[in-house]
Amino acid sequence: MSSPTSKVNKSAALIAAVVQNDVDSLKYFSNCTDWYKIDNPEDGNSLLQIGIIYQKKEVCDYLLSLPDFPLDHENNDHLTALGLALRGKGEFCDHISYELIKRGASLPSVDTVSFRDGFTLLHHALEKSLVKVSKLLMELGYDVNALTSKQLSPLCCCLDACYIDEIEEELVAALLYYGADPTIGTIYGCSTFEFAVKFSSFSVEESLFYYTFDQYTWVDIDFEVLLTLANKRSPFFHETVQRTNVILGNSPMTYYHPLFLIDVEYLDLLIKNCGDAIAQVFAEVKFTVYEMSSFYEPTFLRNLDFLLGSDLRHDTINFIVMFSHIFYSYFLVAVKHGESMIVENVYYLLSYGLRLNESHLEAFYKQYGYGELLKIALHMDIEKTDSKQYSNNSLLVFLYDVNMTLEKYLQDSSPYYPPQNLYELLPYFVHSKLHLLCQHEGIVNADVWLSRPTVPLLLELARNVFRSYFIETFNIRSAKQFYTLINVLPISPVHKKIITYETELY
């Protein structure tokens, strides 16, 4: 009879061999009686359970090859080797769990391996992405349509849990083969096909499409899914859009942006089959500056032009007019585009009823100065706003308010006082109070003052007199009237630029 000390030494040596994945050392003890039935006295784990904990594949495979190894031995936590393996994830746990089940290990209660309410072992294996185990459980007859307490089917569980396309594709194919019902909705309120379109691979999308649609079936589909199919140029888009009851279940902003990204071919089919949905989106959409990225896409004007030529023309025009009030923010943000592109867009949108207001002038001036874009705006009807934002730029006040004079602008009682950015006026005016204010603010250095005249040039006086006479004679009340009439005067472009402050005098 062996002594207690020798038993302890043998146990320690066997456990060490398992931890070190040393199969040869285990074989060394093979002539000892029941050597493989030794367990760790501290936690009750068998050699196989220790191998599973440390993920030692060669040792575990060797122990499983022994004909009478106690597969259902329970440790101090009442967990078998299969229970331990099923708690893990990855290729090792999948392999060991599969081998244990194939060799007849008792399937544990799901409560011992999963903490999810109402899960079956199949739900659990799918959530852990245990491919071999999941397929084996399907072969053994586990219900592929069993629902958890949250109405989660195995198919939905698989779609929600798998993060590797190849694994998801294999498991979805197996579930459908064994009779999983794809019409059982997900916990997110969408069908399995809708979920796959947005989050899964093409292969999964394809499988669920053919299990969801047939020539006699009409399916409720959220408009976002159709837009996603169009954006991906999915080969299933054409069939789906023609056999769909469109649902608008999200915010209009969810649908607005993709409409201006998809190819015209897909937009055309959406207009023909889902025109009412698009019209509703246009009627209900509300913007903030952070939700306007579509305006900067190169496809924006292309799709807008197509919509204006379609049956949704009136809805599109109303949509254009509706977003006029945020044009200010749009141009402040659109810094990555050149002025020529913005000018083209402005011409296009103005032709369909886009409105401009005073705040837009500030945006144009801040972005591009006294350039082509601002000149276009000054020829348009400008809506009044309560905001005085444009008054932060001194020259812009004179460009927009054609009745403004320097004396009026510099009055203490002026709504613009104290004036902002006075240095902008120095190239156009010589005036004692203007000089004093600029000197007080330290806007320019002393050398500049020495080089400036102390009295206005005759050219400045002539310009001021002409503007006053011209405005009074023709009863001009707006910038649009002023610049339109100036353009038709039979005078040289040089004089026109002086009159409109385009030419600096100093």
> Which pLDDT score is estimated for 289?
47
| pLDDT mean across residues, the chain | 86
Instruction: Kindly list the structural domains of the chain, giving each domain's residue range(s) and its CATH number in brackets, ordered by start.
Output: 1-88 (1.25.40.20), 393-506 (no CATH)
Question: Which range among 63-77, 208-222, 229-243, 387-401 shows the weakest confidence by mean pLDDT?
Answer: 387-401
Give dist(CA 2, CA 110) in Å, integer. 41
Give dist(CA 196, CA 208) in Å, integer. 8
User: 0.75 exceeded by the pTM?
Assistant: no
Residues 299, 301, 306, CA angle at the centre, nearest 5°?
A: 95
Give dist(CA 97, CA 85) in Å, integer. 6
Question: Which range among 202-206, 266-270, 448-452, 465-469 shows the weakest confidence by mean pLDDT?
Answer: 448-452
Does the pLDDT at position 290 exceed 60? no
Question: With contact defined as beta carbons under 8 Å apart, do 114 and 152 qualify?
Answer: no
Question: Which range among 90-99, 131-140, 453-462 shows the weakest confidence by mean pLDDT?
Answer: 453-462
Q: Calculate mean pLDDT across residues 282-290.
A: 72
Q: Is 42 helix (H, G, I), strand (E, B) or coil?
A: coil
Question: With contact defined as beta carbons under 8 Å apart, do 80 and 72 qualify?
Answer: yes
Q: Calculate mean pLDDT across residues 18-32.
A: 88
Tell me which DSSP letter residue 186 carries: P
Q: What does residue 146 show for φ and ψ, rounded to 5 degrees? A: -65, 140
> Which pLDDT score is estimated for 460?
94
Q: Is 313 helix (H, G, I), strand (E, B) or coil?
A: helix
Question: With contact defined as beta carbons under 8 Å apart, do 82 and 97 qualify?
Answer: yes
Q: Calculate mean pLDDT across residues 201-215.
A: 91
Does the pLDDT at position 33 exceed 70? no
Taking the CA atoms of 55, 58, 61 and 66 in sequence, report the sign of the dihedral they define.
Answer: negative
Q: What does residue 357 show for φ and ψ, rounded to 5 degrees? A: -130, 180
> Which pLDDT score is estimated for 335?
46
> Which pLDDT score is estimated for 338?
65
